[in-house]
C-alpha cells in the first residue's frame, strides 16, 4: 500500500501612521518655513500617547525629531544628512527609516534616500527603535524544556509560536516565555535575549538558547563556525532528490527575492544571494509517489533555507502557503494547516563542559497523523527516534 525508501548516512509610544500629521507640500520660502515650523510643533504635540490597550502595551517607544536644513547642507543627500546628524545610528538603520516612511520632508513621505535637500526645509524623523533595543516583557507562557543546565536550554518550540518579539508579534513569543522563566535573560534587557538561532513561526522542534551573555556569545561562535549539526524532517509534495533517487545535495545561494520582498529565493551571489547548502534524504513515499517524508540536514542557516531549497527542487513543503503547491495544500488542508517542517535533532559539543550533546524532539501530532494515515503507517516501529 505504500513504498518505503531508506537513505543511510554518517553524519515615546510609537503612533500609528493614521494618527500622524502630514504637512502639505510647499516651496521652501521664509513664509513657508515659519508655517512649517508651527505645523511641526503642533504635530509633535499631537504625538503624545493616548490610552494603550493590553495588546499594545509591549509596543516599543519611538522618538520624533524635527529640524530645518541650512544653507551649508544644500545638495546633501537625505540619507547622508541624517547619518551625520544621528551618528550613533548605522547607515542601514537610517535608510530603513527612509524607505519605511518614517522620514518626512515638507510633509512628503516616503522620500527617496537619494533626495537632495534645499535650505529651510522641514524634516521630521520618527526614530523607531530597532528590535534589539527593545526591553523584553516577561510572560508566563508554558514551555516544554527538552534539556537544560546552568548555561544552555533546549526548548521544544510549538508550531505557530514566534521566536522573538518583532512588528506584529510584540508578545507571546519564546523570548517572552524564557524571560519569565530565567532572571538572567530578563537582565539582558533585549528583545532577543538568549536567542542564538531561529525557527520560522510555522516550524516546530528543537530551539537552542543561552542563559547568560557569555553562553550566547559562545553558542553564536559555534554557529558561525558551523560546528553544530541540525537535522529536520519534512513532508514534501514531490521527490526533492529526483525521480528514482533517495538523496541529493542542494548547494544553491539564497537571498531576498527582487520582485517580492516577503519571499526568499535561489539567487546568484553576485545578485545578493548567500551560500546555502542542504542535504536531502528521502525516507518514505506514499503509494502514488505524491507525498514524501524527507530528512534534511543543513550546513548553513539562511532565512527560509529549507523551504526555498525544496521549492527549487520542485518538491515544496506540504502546507507551506508562501512557497508551496496551492492545489495540493488545499486538498490536504485539514491535515496540514501549516508548513509540515520539524526541527528534529540538534547536536553540538557543549561550549563549557566539552560534552557532546544530541537533543531530539518527537514529531508533532499533525505530522504523525499524516504519516500513519497516508504515507508511512509503520514509521513508529521503524523510526523509533521520531
Q: What is the CATH number of the domain that holds 91?
A: 3.10.290.10
Does residue 89 sit in the same domain as residue 144? no
Contact (Cβ atoms closer than 8 angstroms) between residue 250 and residue 266:
no
Residue 189 domain flag: yes
Partners of 124 in beta bridges: 66, 104
Same domain, 161 and 237: yes
pLDDT single digits (tens) 131-187: 566 667 899 999 999 999 999 999 999 999 999 887 678 889 999 999 999 999 988
**Domain finish residue from 105, 129, 153:** 129
123 and 140 belong to one structural domain:
no
Lookup: cell for 18:
493614521
Burial of 77 (0-12, 13-18, 19+ CB in 10 A): middle
Q: How many CA atoms lie within 13 A of 32 on its CB side?
A: 15
Looking at residue 61, what is its pLDDT?
57
Give 225's contacts (C-beta < 8 A, 6+ positions apart).
none
Residues 91 and 148 in one domain: no
Residues 148 and 121 in one domain: no
Count up the domains in the chain and report the number. Answer: 2
Which CA distances in Å does 365 have to 205, 291, 335, 369, 372?
12, 17, 10, 6, 11
pLDDT of 38: 53
Shared-domain flag, residues 324 and 210: yes
Both 321 and 352 in one domain: the answer is yes
Q: Is residue 2 part of a domain?
A: no
For 102-145, the pLDDT digits (tens) are: 899 998 877 888 899 999 999 999 887 765 666 678 999 999 99
Average pLDDT of every residue of the chain = 84
How far, in whole angstroms, is CA 133 from its chain's centroid? 16
Q: Which residue range is the domain that position 316 belongs to?
A: 134-382
247-277 confidence digits (pLDDT tens): 999 999 999 998 887 899 999 999 989 999 9
**How far lies 272's CA from each of 14, 117, 250, 255, 256, in Å?**
32, 30, 18, 6, 8
Q: Are the CB atoms for 20 and 42 separated by under 8 Å? A: no
Instruction: For residue 314, tell me if it sits in a domain.
Output: yes
Q: Could you say which of 93, 109, 129 is where a domain stops? A: 129
Q: Is residue 3 part of a domain?
A: no
Co-location of 125 and 149 in the same domain: no
Whether residues 167 and 193 share a domain: the answer is yes
6 within domain boundaries: no
Does the structure show a pLDDT above 90 at 192? Answer: no
Catalytic, 200? Answer yes
Q: What is the pLDDT of residue 133?
A: 60
Task: Single out the catalytic residue among 79, 106, 200, 320.
Answer: 200
54 has pLDDT over 90: no
> Is residue 293 predicted with pLDDT exceeding 50?
yes
Shared-domain flag, residues 166 and 193: yes
- Of 129, 145, 165, the residue that ends a domain is 129
Query: What is the reported pTM?
Result: 0.71
Amino acid at each position: 500500500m505504500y513504498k518505503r525508501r531508506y537513505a543511510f548516512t554518517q553524519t515615546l509610544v510609537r503612533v500609528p501612521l493614521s494618527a500622524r500629521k502630514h504637512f502639505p507640500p510647499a516651496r521652501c520660502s521664509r513664509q513657508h518655513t515659519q508655517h512649517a515650523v508651527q505645523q511641526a510643533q503642533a504635530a509633535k504635540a499631537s504625538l503624545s500617547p493616548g490610552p494603550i490597550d493590553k495588546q499594545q502595551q509591549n509596543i516599543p517607544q519611538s522618538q520624533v525629531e524635527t529640524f530645518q536644513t541650512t544653507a551649508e547642507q544644500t545638495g546633501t543627500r537625505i540619507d547622508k544628512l541624517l547619518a551625520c546628524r544621528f551618528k550613533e545610528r548605522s547607515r542601514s538603520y537610517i535608510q530603513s527609516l527612509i524607505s519605511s516612511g518614517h522620514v518626512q520632508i515638507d510633509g512628503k513621505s516616503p522620500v527617496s534616500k537619494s533626495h537632495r535637500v534645499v535650505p529651510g526645509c522641514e524634516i521630521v524623523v520618527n526614530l523607531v527603535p530597532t528590535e534589539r533595543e527593545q526591553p523584553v516583557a516577561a510572560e508566563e507562557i508554558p514551555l516544554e524544556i527538552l534539556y537544560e543546565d546552568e548555561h544552555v536550554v533546549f526548548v521544544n518550540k510549538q508550531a505557530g509560536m514566534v521566536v522573538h518579539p518583532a512588528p506584529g508579534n510584540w508578545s507571546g513569543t519564546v523570548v517572552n516565555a524564557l524571560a519569565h522563566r530565567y532572571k538572567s535573560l530578563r537582565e539582558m534587557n533585549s528583545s532577543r535575549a538568549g536567542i542564538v538561532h531561529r525557527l520560522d513561526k510555522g516550524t516546530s522542534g528543537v530551539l537552542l538558547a543561552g542563559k547568560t551573555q557569555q553562553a550566547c556569545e559562545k553558542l553564536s561562535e559555534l554557529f558561525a563556525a558551523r560546528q553544530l549539526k541540525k537535522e529536520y524532517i519534512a513532508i514534501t509534495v514531490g521527490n526533492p532528490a529526483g525521480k528514482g533517487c533517495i538523496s541529493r545535495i542542494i548547494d544553491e545561494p539564497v537571498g531576498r527575492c527582487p520582485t517580492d520582498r516577503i519571499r526568499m529565493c535561489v539567487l546568484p551571489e553576485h545578485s545578493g544571494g548567500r551560500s546555502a547548502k542542504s542535504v536531502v534524504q528521502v525516507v518514505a513515499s506514499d503509494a502514488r509517489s505524491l507525498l514524501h517524508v524527507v530528512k534534511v540536514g543543513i550546513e548553513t542557516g539562511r532565512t527560509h533555507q529549507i523551504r526555498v531549497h525544496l521549492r527549487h527542487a520542485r518538491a515544496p513543503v506540504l502546507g507551506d502557503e508562501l512557497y508551496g503547491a496551492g492545489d495540493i495544500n488545499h486538498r490536504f488542508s485539514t491535515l496540514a494547516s501549516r508548513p509540515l517542517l520539524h526541527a528534529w535533532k540538534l547536536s553540538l559539543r557543549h561550549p563549557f563542559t566539552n560534552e557532546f550533546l544530541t537533543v531530539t524532539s518527537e514529531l508533532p501530532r499533525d505530522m504523525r497523523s499524516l504519516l500513519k494515515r497516508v504515507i508511512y503507517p509503520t514509521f513508529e516501529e521503524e523510526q523509533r527516534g521520531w
